[in-house]
Structure 1
Amino acid sequence: MVCSVFDVARSSFYDYKNRRNTIDANEVELRAQLNACFKLSRGSAGSRTLLAMLADLDIDVGLFKVRRLMRDMQLVSKQPGPHAYKVAVSERPEIPNQLNREFDVHNPNQVWCGDITYIWTGQKWSYLAVVIDLYARRAIGWAMSEKPDTALTIKALDRAYEQRGKPRGVMFHSDQGSQYSSTKFRQRLWRYQITQSMSRRGNCWDNSPMERVFRSLKTEWVPSIGYNSFKETEQDISFYLMNYYNWSRPHSHNDMKAPAVAEEKLNSLSGIS
C-alpha cells in the first residue's frame, strides 16, 4: 500500500532493504583508514588533508565522500580560524629584510627560516627553536632549552647545517629577536658563510612560514594543558617535526604532499642529489 501511495515499485523497496542489511566491506576498510589518519593528526586534519593522506596510502576516494564519512563518524577538525597580524615597516639598518617575502624558492638550501616559541613543560615554560627550508617547508633543525637564549638558536642552526650536509650560499631569515641579532649567532652565520636577513619589527607576515609551523604545532599537536615534563616534550616535539610534519602531514605549499616527500620528489625531477 505504501509503495502504491508513493508510486514506488515493490522491487525497489526490497532492493533497498537488502542493501541496508548488507555490510560494505570496502567502506568499513575506508572508515578504518580514515579514522587512523584522523587519529595520527591528533584530530587536526580536515577533509582535504585526510583526502591527501588517503591518496598517499593509494586509496582512491572523492572529497565529498570523505566529508560524508567524517559527518557520519563525527570527526571534526580542530583547526583554528585565521590570525590577524600586525603590520610595520621598521628594519634593522645593518641586517635588512633581504628575503622581502619571496617565500617561493626554486632550490633546496637556498633560504632557511628560523624562530622561537614557548611550550609549557610541567611547571614552567620551555623554549623551542626551529629551522625550516623554504624549498618544501621541511623542518631541518630544532632545539629545546629552559632558556630562550642565543645558545638555543645556535644549536638549532648547527643541527640544520649538519643535517643538510654543510651547504654554502644559504640565506637565513628570522625576526628581530635578540637571539638572532646577537654577536655569537652572527659569528656562527659568518663561519657557515650564510647570509642573514631579518623581518621588519612587529611584522609577522615577513616570517609567515615559520609562524605557520608553530601555529600548526600548537593547534594540532601540543596538548591543551601542555606536557608533564621537559623530556616528554622533547620526545613528542621531535616526533612531530621529524616524522609526522616532515613525512606524513600534507602541506598546501606542496600540493598536499608532506614536506620531505615533496622535497625528494622535486629533487628527483630536478636531478638534485
Structure 2
Amino acid sequence: MGTRVSYPIEIKMKAIEMKLAGVPNMEILESLTIRNVSQLKKWMKWYKNGELHRLKQPVGKQYTYGKGPEYESETAKLQAENRYLKQQIEVFKKVQRVGKEVVPRVVVKLVEELRGIMTVGEICVHLGVSRPSYYRWKKNNSVETRKDIRDKKIGELCKLHKFRYGYRKITSIYEEAISKNTVQRVMRKYGWQCRVKVKKRTRTGQPAYVAPNLLERDFVAKRPFEKLVTDITYLPFGQSMMYLSSIQDVYNGEIVAKTIGFTQDTEFVLDTLNQLPELPKDCILHSDQGSVYTSYAYQKAVKEKGITMSMSRKGTPADNSPIETFHSSLKSETFYLDGIYRTTNAHVIQIVENYITYYNNTRIQTKLNSQPPVKYRQLAVI
C-alpha cells in the first residue's frame, strides 16, 4: 500500500483554480505534482458543495464541520494529544530556529505558555536547551540590549508589510545603515522570512488570429507607456467566479488599467483597454493568445488607438511574465497569505482594489531602486 500524501491548502486551491480555468487534468497533476486525478475530483466536489472546511482537514481525518475526532478510549485521546503537542514543538523549532539558533526571549515565553501542561525540565528537553540556561535567560529577560532593539525594529517592518518582503527589501527601508546579511540572519532567527510563494499557470486555448511576438521577453522600457502587457486572471474566492483584467506598464511595473467582472468576454477586456490615456507613437501591447485578444473587435480597438499588438507563443507564459508575476503576487500576498478562500464578492473586489493601490504606491521593488512604481515614475520625470 502506497504512502498517503497530505497536500497543503494552497496546492488544493491552486488545483481548483486551474480546473475552473479549463486546464486539462493531466496538466494540473503534472504541474502541481498531484498523484491521482481522483484527488482533484474530490477537491472539486467539496468546492462546488461549499465544503471548503474539508480542504483544511488532515488526510484520512474528514470530520463533520465544527466537530473534532472521536476517540475509542481516554488513553487514545491522551496519546493523540501528546503526539499533537510534540508536533507543535517540532513546528516551533522549524519556524523559530529553536535548537539551531536559540532565541532566549522566545524560549522563555514558550516555557511560560507550556508549563501548565509539561514540567520545565520536559519542555527544555524538547527544545534542546538546559534548565540552567532557561533560568538564566528568564532572569535577564527584562534587560533589553541594542541587538534586541534592532531585532524588534526588523520584526516590526516585517509585520507592517505582512511578511511580503524579503531581507533585501527590509534592509532598504530600515531607518539606519545595516548589513543585509545581518537582516537576513535576524529574519531567519525569528522565522520572519517572506511567506509568499510564487504560483504559475499555463495558458490554454486555440487562437483565432495571432500577432507576432514583438516583445521577445525584452521586459525593459526606456520611457512610460513604451511597452504594455495585459492578461486575465481568475478570482475564485467570492460567491461566484470573478475575473481581473489588467494592463501593466513594463517601464515601472505600474498597473495602469484594470477591470473586475463576472464574464470573461471581449467587452470585458475592451473596458480595460479603454481606460488607457493617450499613448505615445509605437506603443506595444503584449498579451497571450486568448480568444478575447484575438477577436476582431479587440484588434480593431487596438489599431484605432495606434497600438502595435504583440502576442506570446502558445503555452509559453514566460513570454508574458511581468503580468503573470503580478497576478500571482496579488493572490499570494492577499488571499493565500491571509487564508481567505471563500468570502463575499464585494470583499474580493475590495481586496483586489486595495492591493493594486498598495502595489502601485507603497510596495517597493528592488529593480526600481527600492521605490514603488508611481514614485519611480515621478522621480524619473523630475
Question: Which residue is equivalent to 1:121?
Answer: 237
- Once the two structures are superposed, what CA deviation does each residue of 1:245-271 show, in whole Å capped at 9, x if it has no partner? 112222233233222222222222xxx
- Once the two structures are superposed, what CA deviation does each residue of 1:28-75 show, in whole Å capped at 9, x if it has no partner? 3x5555344323433222111222333xxx443221232233234431
Please identify which structure carries the higher strand content.
1
Question: Which residue is equivalent to 2:350?
Answer: 235
Contact 2:312-2:320 within 8 A present in 1 as well: yes
SS of match in other structure, 2:274: helix
- Once the two structures are superposed, what CA deviation does each residue of 1:86-139 show, in whole Å capped at 9, x if it has no partner? 9xxx99875111111121111111011000100123233210111110011111
Question: Which residue is equivalent to 2:193?
Answer: 76
- Once the two structures are superposed, what CA deviation does each residue of 1:214-269 show, in whole Å capped at 9, x if it has no partner? 12112222244435122111111111112x2112222233233222222222222x
Q: 1:53 to 1:188 in 2, by over 3 A?
A: farther
Which of these residues, 297, 300, 311, is aligned with residue 198 of structure 1? 311
Contact 2:364-2:370 within 8 A present in 1 as well: yes
Structure 1: unaligned runs, 5 residues or longer = 1-18, 269-273
What TM-score do the two structures reach when normalised by structure 2? 0.56
Q: Tell me: higher relative CO, structure 1 or 2? Use CA pairs within 8 A at least 6 residues apart.
A: 1
Contact 1:168-1:192 within 8 A present in 2 as well: no
Question: Which residue is equivalent to 1:214?
Answer: 327
SS of match in other structure, 2:315: coil
Aligned-residue Cα RMSD (Å) equals 2.9
Q: Percent identity?
A: 25
Question: Which residue is equivalent to 1:253?
Answer: 367
Contact 2:229-2:286 within 8 A present in 1 as well: yes
What TM-score do the two structures reach when normalised by structure 1? 0.76
Report the Cα distance in structure 2 between the residues aligned to 1:132 and 1:144, rounded to whole angstroms: 15
SS of match in other structure, 1:76: coil
Which of these residues, 163, 177, 184, is aligned with residue 67 of structure 1? 184
Q: CA deviation at 1:213?
A: 0.7
Q: CA deviation at 1:196?
A: 0.8
Q: Does 2:299 align with 1:179?
A: no
Contact 1:118-1:127 within 8 A present in 2 as well: yes
Q: CA deviation at 1:21?
A: 6.2
Code of the residue aligned with 1:213 in structure 2: it is F
Which of these residues, 168, 171, 178, is aligned with residue 280 of structure 2? 168
Contact 1:176-1:199 within 8 A present in 2 as well: yes
Which is worse superposed, 214-223 or 103-112?
214-223
Structure 2: unaligned runs, 5 residues or longer = 1-139
Question: Which residue is equivalent to 1:108?
Answer: 224
Which is worse superposed, 90-99 or 38-47?
90-99
Bigger Rg, which one:
2
Contact 2:200-2:328 within 8 A present in 1 as well: no
